[in-house]
Amino acid sequence: MAQNNQQPRTEQEKKEQDYRQHVEQITPTYSLPLQMLKAFVMGGLICLLGQFILNYATQRMGMDKETAAAWCSMLLVLTSVVLTGFNIYQKLVRWSGGGALVPITGFANSVASAAIEYQKEGQVFGIGCKIFTIAGPVILFGIVTSWALGLIYWVGTLIGMV
């Protein structure tokens, strides 16, 4: 029985070589410069859309900058959620990688994706409980970090550094 478990060294080496070839065949290859270019283009297009909305709101609609910025944010979030609902945003992410994950649109996509994924479990236990599974930690660490920086700023003003 012990002899059946032991294989000749050449057979073991052949299996290892076959395995390495199999891994090389199925492992996707990426061109880093091409992926960086795609991310740059997609991120730039999203930012260009945001700038267009901002300029249109201030110049054509007569809004002040703060109101225009709020509308710009809302429209970018709405666009991201609608594209996520139609499964278009995921294709953009697959094509561009990190370029489509520009903070506001990527954040909206993560919240909408979780809501869509868990809707079959119901309004409360599905969407209500799972909607912030990805976005929750981002919100938590954003609040904690802003609190810590505010504390550092406050202490700095008390001791005269700021």
End-to-end CA, the chain: 78
Q: How confident is the model at residue 5 (pLDDT cuts 50, 70, 90)?
A: low
pLDDT single digits (tens) 67-105: 999 999 999 999 999 999 999 999 999 999 888 887 789
Q: What pLDDT is recorded for position 97?
A: 85
Q: What is the DSSP letter of 28?
A: -
Distance between CA atoms of 124 and 130, rounded to whole angstroms?
9
Q: Which of 75, 47, 76, 72 is nearest to 58 (CA)?
A: 72
Does the predicted TM-score (pTM) go above 0.75? no
Q: What is the per-residue pLDDT for 8? A: 53
Cβ distance 100 to 46 under 8 Å? yes
Average pLDDT across the chain, whole number: 86
Residue 73: which of 100, 53, 44, 93 has the closest Cα?
53
pLDDT at 1 > cutoff 90: no
Residues 6+ apart with CB under 8 A from 142: none
